[in-house]
Chains A and B, each alone.
Chain A
Amino acid sequence: MATIPANTRLAARRTASGWLGALVKAAREAPLMAVIILGGLVLVALLADLIAPYDPTLPVKGAEMFVPPFWMEGGSVATPLGTDFQGRDILSRLIYGARVSLVVGLMGTLVAGGIGTAMGILSGYVGGWVDQIIMRVTDAWLALPAIVFAIFLAAMVGPSMWNIIVILGAVYWTRYARVIRGEVLTLRERDFVKLAEIAGASKLRVIKKHILPNVMNTATVLASLTVGVVIIAEASLSFLGVGVPPPQPAWGLMLSEARPTLMAGQWWLTVFPGACILLIVLATQLFGDWLRVRLDPQTRNL
């Protein structure tokens, strides 16, 4: 019996390129816009202390309230995007606000995804009454309007950034549970899962080695959608006054605080934070889409 040789082309490529090559390849395929926007925002959030010209919570010394952006009449280069109703620098507030949006968006998604994926796998793989209970709770959860539910929870535990993260996680986990459960139900019937069970693998091992890796794809796609939703939800909660408490700078809070003056023509108080929310949500969606393709070994052409 002749042995079939290993695919030499594949073997050669793996050894020659290594991780550096993989990195270069990933960079080449990444959606440039999304990576630039997200990378920029992450950098800004990390280096906020270094690059923000002023303290975001205090009025700029010697600056008026409602100074317009620098290109408008009466604008000043010292406060390039103008000042708000307290004379605080809008640019500095936007820079620090990126921290809040990114931390809440990512952590909230992580909490929601963690709870939801665990529940979905438990429900789908264990089945029986465990499945019944989890799914009925999910139904009840989904029947509540997300934002109203979040407001209710936020009003109960009080506003703070970390509370918001936990609340949004607790509100949005149900989508994961539902979708992941469906995925697990089909996976459970796949031959490779049955083979593992026949070989004597424990439930925990099957979940770890076969179920989890195969639902990560779906979980990632959901996460890419959730990051945007969570960021908007955080902005909405802050806008409604139950989110990040003032004077901490958050984009949603900035919108909320600028509401009374919106009609008075001071558009820079709202347009800049609004544009930031739009950009970050758009970028996360694009990035998530790219990630979905990358995570599939068949489409990533390994």
Chain B
Amino acid sequence: MSSPVLEVRALKKYFPARRRLFGGAATWVKAVDGVDITVHAGETLGLIGESGCGKTTTSKLILLQETPTAGTISFEGRDIASLQGSDLMAYRRAVQVVFQDPFSSLSPRMRVGDIIAEPLEIHTDLARAAIDERVGTVLELVGLAPDVAPLFPHEFSGGQRQRIAIARALVTDTRLIVLDEPVSALDVSVRAQIITQLEELQRALGVSYLFIGHDLATVAHISHRIAVMYLGKIVETAASDALCARPMHPYTQALFAAALPSHPDDRTETKAITGEVPSALSLPSGCRFHPRCPSAMPVCSQIEPVLRPRDGGGEVACHLYD
């Protein structure tokens, strides 16, 4: 495997929930609680989990929108927390993001060309003509005509807008794109087009993706490797094929059970999980998943399992495989 682009080690982010009258916080929301992930060059890492599990907080930490409570994030071997000045700008230039809602991520008052050109204007002192040319190039890359540049975002459909957002993310010499549920807001038919487009772009440009999602089918399709997240922790990580062939953690199995079968006559062995996600304010003791786990054992409520190598490569954190 090629060299790692992004390495996240023991990342933690706690938010204060209730404050005492004076001073510090009484309780903490452990949004991200010891996450390790690695994204290699030209690879897609899928980060999957249900709402509130800390996926988006992880992406915010990577994008320097929040500062971690503990742990390190290194990009191409350098800790991003220590970046300053031109090194920080180089990082800002190399890492871009595509958000879920294509109606909020494009400024309604800017023309498409100006939206895409913004990172170029920030990071380079190219002349107008050179910028326009680059904007035209990336528009073609994402399957839009270069002459849409003078139009406003509201003249486009959701799928086209998401293409524009991807074009913007590609306009600098981007090495890593954080895709934060980029297709969740789109129609199913458009979803497939965007996913195919993203895969083509990766092949052509060698860019890495951190693909965050909650829809297993989509994430499994685009990712080379998948990390499954539950309440701030990674519970299982494996190559996409291995994970789909044999999901080991009960939570991963439940996610597969919840996904629609590819044929309506297919019957899956339902192991659907019940109950709500526990509040991140009062985490269950031991394994965080044990209150909802169909195969919980007495040990699960006492000792928190750690990630151990699993069959077929990857790691799983579950007492079933101790």
Contacts and interface: CB of A to CB of B under 8 A. Distances in A.
Interface of A: 1-7, 10-11, 14, 190-192, 194-201, 205, 209-210, 213-214, 297-298, 302
A253 B260 CA distance: 78
A100 B200 CA distance: 66
Contact of B107 (A4, A7, A214): A214
B14 interface: no
Contacts of A196: 118
14 contacts: A3-B145, A4-B148, A7-B151, A10-B155, A191-B99, A191-B104, A195-B105, A196-B118, A199-B96, A199-B119, A199-B122, A200-B88, A209-B110, A298-B108
Given A10-B151, A201-B118, A195 B144 contact: no
Interface residues of B, number: 39
B206 to A, nearest CB: 19
Given A4-B144, A5-B145, A194 B65 contact: yes
A2 B115 CA distance: 23
A4 B160 contact: yes
B89 A200 contact: yes
B197 interface: yes
Nearest to B97: A198
Contacts of B151: 6-7, 10
B109 A297 contact: yes
Given A3-B140, A191-B104, A302-B152, A198 B96 contact: yes
Nearest to A189: B104
A7 B157 CA distance: 12
B101 interface: yes
Contacts of B108: 214, 297-298
Contacts of B123: 199-200
Contacts of B65: 194, 197-198
B107 A192 contact: yes
A214 B63 CA distance: 24
B197 A192 contact: no
A183 to B, nearest CB: 13
Contacts of A297: 108-109, 152, 154
Interface in B154-171: 154-155, 160, 168
A201 B168 CA distance: 14
Contact of B143 (A3, A195, A201, A209): A3
B92 interface: yes
Given A10-B155, A191-B105, A209-B107, 18 more contacts: A2-B143, A3-B143, A4-B143, A4-B145, A6-B145, A7-B148, A11-B147, A192-B104, A198-B63, A198-B97, A200-B88, A200-B89, A200-B93, A209-B110, A209-B118, A214-B107, A297-B109, A298-B108
Among A4, A7, A194, A195, the one with the most B-chain Cβ atoms within 10 Å of its Cβ is: A195
Contact of A6 (B110, B148, B152, B168): B148
Contacts of B147: 6, 11
A210 B107 contact: yes
Nearest to A214: B109
Contacts of A214: 107-109
Nearest to B106: A192
A298 B104 contact: no
A213 B109 CA distance: 7
B150 interface: yes
Contact of B119 (A190, A194, A200, A210): A200
Interface in B240-260: none
Given A7-B155, A210-B107, A201 B122 contact: yes
A208 B154 CA distance: 21
Contacts of A11: 147
A7 to B, nearest CB: 6
Contacts of B101: 191
Contacts of B110: 209, 213
A205 B107 contact: no
Contact of A298 (B97, B118, B122, B154): B154
B97 A195 contact: yes
A195 B99 contact: yes
Contacts of A213: 107, 109-110
A209 B110 CA distance: 9
A140 to B, nearest CB: 27
Nearest to A5: B145
Given A5-B145, A191-B104, A14 B150 contact: yes
B92 A200 contact: yes
Contacts of A1: 143, 197, 200
A213 B96 CA distance: 24
Contacts of A197: 65
Nearest to B139: A3
Nearest to B123: A200
A94 to B, nearest CB: 41
Contact of B92 (A7, A194, A199): A199
Among A191, A196, A298, the one with the most B-chain Cβ atoms within 10 Å of its Cβ is: A191
Nearest to A202: B122
A192 B137 CA distance: 22
A198 B95 CA distance: 8
Nearest to B98: A195
Contacts of B152: 297, 302
Given A7-B155, A297-B154, A190 B96 contact: no
A205 B145 contact: no
Q: Which 3 A-B pairs have the closest CB atoms?
A: A200-B92, A191-B105, A191-B104
A191 B101 CA distance: 8
A279 B104 CA distance: 41
A196 to B, nearest CB: 6
